[in-house]
Amino acid sequence: MLATEPWEYSLNIPNDVRAVTVSRRTLRLILTVHGLIRLVDVAELLATELISNAVRHTKGPAALRVRWSPPGTLWIGAWDADPEPPGPLVPRRQTADLEDGRGLALVRACADVWGWQPLSRRGSRGKYVWCECALEASECIPG
């Protein structure tokens, strides 16, 4: 059954590369329980990129926030302890096997809308990078 009421979850995560897997699996469970299995693939990709950046490029804790607003918008956001703007949208060097630098380009390609803002959380400065995807636009074919 499709979620008809709004809901929101937050997951505080340590600065640990395993947090990406925990976040992805938690998000999959949340979406499945709320009947939003159609959003799982693109939401996992988006959350993985946001949390990976938070864990890889900062030294402090991070948090994943997931929010649903009927009739069909999913917001995914990641807070981290670095107040600097997110990295470049496209890789500095365009090569087929370059792994670094593609995360935000994937977010831009797969999300309907994305953005960032400086943020204070529990007395710490940082930033919040977010994106949204609509239920009817739940496929992502980067290109």
Average pLDDT, the chain: 84
Q: Give this prediction's pTM.
A: 0.83
- Nearest partner of 71 among 42, 41, 35, 33, judged by Cα: 35
Q: What is the pLDDT of residues 33-68, one digit of tens each?
A: 999 999 999 999 999 999 999 998 888 889 999 999
Structural domain boundaries of the chain? 7-137
Q: Tell me the average pLDDT across 118-129.
A: 83
Q: d(Cα 102, Cα 48) in Å, to the nearest integer?
A: 12
Model pLDDT, residue 24: 96
Contacts of residue 35, defined as CB under 8 A and 6 or more positions apart, other chains included, come to 1, 2, 3
Q: What is the pLDDT of residues 59-102, one digit of tens each?
A: 888 999 999 998 889 999 999 988 888 875 444 444 344 455 56
Secondary-structure class of domain 7-137 per CATH: alpha beta
